[in-house]
Chain A
C-alpha cells in the first residue's frame, strides 16, 4: 500500500507529553502537509539508544525502532523526545530524519537554550513546531534550503531557528507539491 493510502501522520511522544504543544504540532503538520495526524506513543522508552560514555541518545536506532513498530495506516511517524540526541560523528543533533523515508525524530533538549522568561511560553513551542515540520519535510524528500526564512533551512543555532518562518519557501512548496503528486500517482498505480 502506498503512502497516500496510508493517510495518517503519527506523532509519537517519548516521555511525558505536553498535550497543548502536541496539539499545536498537529495543526501545523496538517496545514503544511495536508495529512491528518494521530498522537500515539509508539516507544515507551529509548534506553536501548543510550550511549553511557556520551550520556546522549543515538537517534538512528530510534528511527529504526519506530519504523519497525509503525501502525499500518501511518504514512510517516514523527517522534518528539526530550533527551539529547546525537549521531556518532557529530556532537549533537536537533533531530534526524530518513530522507524520503517513514520516520523522523526531534529533540526538545536543546530547543530550550537562550529562552528568556518573558518570551519562553511563545518562542519554545514555535521552535518545536519548526523543527517538527523541518524533519517531517525530509521524510517527504525535501533537502535543506538556502533560504534563511524557509522552514527547511538548516539552523546552526536556536537563534537561526527563531529567525526562520514556520512556512516553506516557494521552492520547497513546489517540491513538496511534486512529492505529494508523485505519492498520489504511485498510489493510483498500485
Chain B
C-alpha cells in the first residue's frame, strides 16, 4: 500500500526542498512543482492526496490553483501556505475549499498534526466506499461450480488440503473464484464450525489495515476512543483469509511474518502479546516472485505463505464449464429479478464460448445478469449479452474529456462487476484514484 502522496507547490526552491525533505523523512511520497501551471500538469498524471500550496506565486496564484484542483477532484485536500501579510487571502482560500492554512515559517507540530488529521479523514471515507461496493460481491454465489478437468483437479486438491493445518496461497486472475476456493477449504476443514474471517488487504490504507487486523488499544492514536478487537482475534478457532495479499506494505509484511511464525501479535498501541489460533489462507492476482525481485514483497514471508499453493484456472482455460455456469447464473438472476427467462439460446452459448472472458467467472455472471434484465424473450439471445455491445454506453452530446472519462470508467466498472482492483488494473490507475473518480463523477453501482 502506497504512502500518502503529497505535492508541494511553491516558487521558492529552498521552501520546496526543505519541506520535501521533512515530509519524506516522515514517510510520505513527495513531489514538487515550482508553479501552479506545473502542478496542474503533474496532477494529470498522478493523483495526490494532499497539496501544500503557496498562495503568492508568479503566474497562476495559489488561490486559482486551489479552485481548479477542487473542481477536478474535491477529495484532494489543499493546505495553503502564506506569509503573515496575506491572512485575508488564506481565509478566502478556506471559503474556496482549502482544508487549512499555515503561516510561514510554521511549527513542525502544526504541519504534522494537520497531515495526520487529513490522512485519517481520507482513509475513513475510502473505507466506507469500499464496504459499500464490496457488500454485494460478498453475499453472492456460495458454491464453486465446474465439470472441467481443471476444476475437478481443484476440488480434489481442496479435499486433500482442507483437513491439514497448512497455510495456503491461492493464485489466480481476478474473478476466478479465489475467495470461494478459500471458503471451500474452510468448510471442508475441521475448523468449519469456527469463523471464516476475510480481510481484503488491498482495500485499506496501511494504518487502517493494521488496526483492522490487529485491533487497537484505547488511545493508540487520535481516534482510538475505545479498545477494539482486530480480525485476527475474531478469527480465533477458524480461518483467516487474506485476500489481495500482494498489496500489503513492507511494514505490514514484517508484522505478518511474525504472525505466521508464532501466531502472536500485539494490538496497535498494546504491549500485551495476544495469541490466537487460526489457519491462514492468502490469495493474490499478483506475481509474487516478480514482486520479490522488485523488492516490494519479502521473500521470507512468501515462503511462509507458499506452504501449499495452487492457481485457480482462468475461465478461458475451462470453457467447457461455460454452459453449466451460465445455466446456474440464469436461474439465480431470473429468481432474483422475478423475470421468466429460462433458456440460453444455442447462438448465445456459441458466442460466449468464443469470448475470452478477461474478467473470468465474475464477468460471465455479470453478462448473464445483464442479459436477464435487458432480454425481451424467455430465451437469452446473443444481442442481450454485453460482450457484443462494448459501445453500449455511448458518449452523450457532451463530449468533453471529463464526460468521456466518466463514461469509460463506468463501462469498465460495469464490465468487471464493480471489481475495483480489476477495473483499476485495466484503467491503469491506482485504486484510490478510481474510488475518487467514482465519487467525483457520481458513478453509481447498478442496483
A residues near B, CB below 8 A?
60, 86-93, 96-97, 99, 138, 143-144, 146, 148, 154, 156-157, 170-171, 174-175
Contacts and interface: CB of A to CB of B under 8 A. Distances in A.
Nearest to B220: A148
Interface in B94-121: 104-109, 111-113
Contacts of A143: 24-27
A143 B4 CA distance: 13
Contacts of A93: 22, 108
Interface of B: 12, 14-15, 17-19, 21-22, 24-27, 81, 104-109, 111-113, 207, 221, 250-251, 254-255, 258, 269
Contact of A97 (B14, B25, B104, B107): B25
Most buried by B among A148, A170, A171, A175: A171
Contacts of B251: 171, 175
Determine which residue in B109, B221, B255, B269 has the highest number of CB atoms from chain A within 10 A of its CB, and name it: B109
Interface core residue of B26, B104, B251 (most chain A CB under 10 Å)? B251
Given A60-B21, A144-B25, A154-B26, A88 B105 contact: yes
A157 to B, nearest CB: 7
8 contacts: A89-B15, A89-B19, A96-B21, A99-B24, A154-B26, A156-B109, A171-B254, A175-B251
A99 B20 CA distance: 11
Nearest to A87: B18
Contacts of B107: 90-92
A157 B110 CA distance: 12
Contacts of B254: 170-171, 174-175
Contacts, number: 69
A77 to B, nearest CB: 17
A155 to B, nearest CB: 9
Contacts of B104: 89
A177 to B, nearest CB: 10
A93 to B, nearest CB: 7
B42 to A, nearest CB: 20
Given A93-B108, A148-B269, 19 more contacts: A87-B18, A87-B19, A87-B22, A88-B12, A88-B14, A88-B105, A89-B104, A91-B107, A91-B108, A92-B108, A138-B25, A143-B24, A143-B27, A144-B26, A156-B108, A156-B109, A156-B113, A171-B251, A171-B255
B339 to A, nearest CB: 52
A175 to B, nearest CB: 7
Contacts of B106: 89-91
B105 A89 contact: yes
Given A90-B105, A175-B254, A156 B18 contact: no
Contacts of B12: 88
Contacts of A91: 105-108
Contacts of B255: 171
Contacts of A89: 15, 18-19, 22, 81, 104-106
Top-3 shortest CB links A-B: A87-B18, A143-B27, A156-B109
A174 B257 CA distance: 11
A93 B21 CA distance: 12
Nearest to B207: A146
Given A89-B104, A170-B254, A99 B25 contact: yes
